[in-house]
Amino acid sequence: MADLISDTFTVIRNAARAQKEDTLIPYSKVFARICEILKDNGYIENFKEVDLEGFKKIKVYLKYDRKRCTLRQIVRVSRPGRRVFVKKDKVPQVLRGFGIAIVSTSKGIFTDKEAREKNLGGELLGKVW
């Protein structure tokens, strides 16, 4: 796997489209923080770390509202071959505030709103709506 974040976004997106109750993604601190952001913004129900055959994974529980997943789309913006960086005053809004952008800064990984509040710029990892 060349781009783990993109692969993880694809696993979550495919599970949501297939109306799965939960899905497994590889464990890393970055993925744990992204799941925490998704949970705090109401896109997933919950997540937890599990140990399967000696490998740590994150079990993501998807959230549904009347049989429709609350996570409509999750896309990767910055890629290994084309990094996308945003300055602190150019952090984008997704769907005029109805979605979130995930930004990796020098202080950690934040949503677009948190990055603007903390006056931080960084790499634009993805967008969720």
Q: What is the DSSP string of 46-95?
A: EEEEEEETTEEEEEEEE-EETTEES---EEE-SBTTB--EE-TT-PPPSG
**Residue 101: which of 91, 81, 84, 80 has the closest Cα?**
91
Domain 77-128 is in which class?
Answer: alpha beta
For the segment 83-88, the average pLDDT, to the nearest whole number, is 96
The one-letter code for the residue type at 61 is: Y
Banded model confidence at residue 1, pLDDT cuts 50, 70, 90: low
The one-letter code for the residue type at 52 is: L
Fold classified for 4-69: Ribosomal Protein S8; Chain: A, domain 1 (3.30.1370)
What's the pLDDT at 70? 93
Task: Count helices and strands (H / E) in the chain.
Answer: 3, 10
Read off the pLDDT of residues 100-114 as tens digits, 9 standing for 90 and up.
Answer: 999 999 999 999 999
Asked if the model's pLDDT at residue 2 lies above 90, the reply is no
For the segment 44-71, the average pLDDT, to the nearest whole number, is 94
* Domain locations along the chain: 4-69, 77-128
**Residue 12: which of 78, 64, 61 has the closest Cα?**
61
pTM for this prediction: 0.93
Question: Residue 51: is it exposed, middle or buried by C-beta count within 10 angstroms (0-12/13-18/19+)?
Answer: exposed
Tokens 């950690």 label which residue? 108
Residue 8, classed as helix, strand or coil, is helix
- In DSSP terms, which residues pair with 85 in a beta bridge? 123
Read off the pLDDT of residues 45-57 as tens digits, 9 standing for 90 and up.
Answer: 999 999 998 999 9
Asked if the model's pLDDT at residue 88 lies above 70, the reply is yes
Q: Are the beta carbons of 101 and 92 closer than 8 angstroms?
A: yes
